Structure formats: C-alpha cells, structure tokens
C-alpha cells in the first residue's frame, strides 16, 4: 500500500459475540482440538481510554458542541496511546 492509497476497515464482529474465544486466547486456555497456540504479541487486550472532560453517562447523553468535544478528545487520546501521528 502506498502513501497515496486509503484503506477502509469494515469491522462487523461484535465484541460480545466472541468474548469467550477471545478470553481463552488471552489466557492461553484453548481446547487442544482448536490446534491454536496463542501468540502474546497478537493478544489485543482491551484498554480503558479516559479522555479529559465530560463523557456520556447512562441516561445522560452529550449533545452538540459537548459531544463533538468528547469525540475529538477521545480520538486524540486513542491516537496518542497508539503513538499515531498525523501525516
């Protein structure tokens, strides 16, 4: 892939569908018949992201500028945690 190309990831798998398999992978506890040996470097463990500022809460959604600020701050926090830089 060159610098002038773009990729689109269409991820339709819901985390809750595969939580059992994922946890077995993380714990290196898969049944022998799966014939899978987990690689620790591929265990993409969930991480908590705490962006500064107000965030939506159950029954208390954010709207307008407050929602836009939350989305931007969260995206920047995620990008920073992954050491991503703008091109």
Average pLDDT of 23-42?
Answer: 91
Determine which of 4-13, 22-31, 65-74 has the lowest per-residue pLDDT on average. 4-13
Q: Residue 4 pLDDT more than 80?
A: no
**pLDDT tens, position by position, 34-56:** 999 999 888 877 778 887 888 88
The DSSP output letter for 52 is S
Query: Which pLDDT belongs to residue 12?
Result: 64
CA distances for 5 relative to 1, 75, 83, 85, angstroms: 6, 22, 21, 17
Would you state the structure tokens that stand for residue 31, as one six-digit string?
């049944």
Domain ranges across the chain: 15-81
Distance CA 22, CA 28 (A): 10
Distant-in-sequence, close-in-space partners of 44: CB < 8 Å, separation ≥ 6: none
């Amino acid at each position: 892939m060159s610098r002038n190309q773009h990729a689109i990831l269409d991820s339709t798998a819901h985390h809750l569908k595969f939580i059992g398999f994922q946890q077995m992978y993380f714990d290196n506890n898969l049944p022998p018949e799966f014939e899978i040996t987990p690689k620790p470097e591929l265990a993409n463990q969930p991480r908590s992201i705490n962006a500064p500022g107000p965030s939506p809460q159950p029954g208390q959604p954010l709207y307008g500028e407050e929602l836009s600020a939350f989305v931007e701050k969260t995206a920047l926090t995620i990008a920073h945690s992954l050491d991503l830089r703008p091109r």
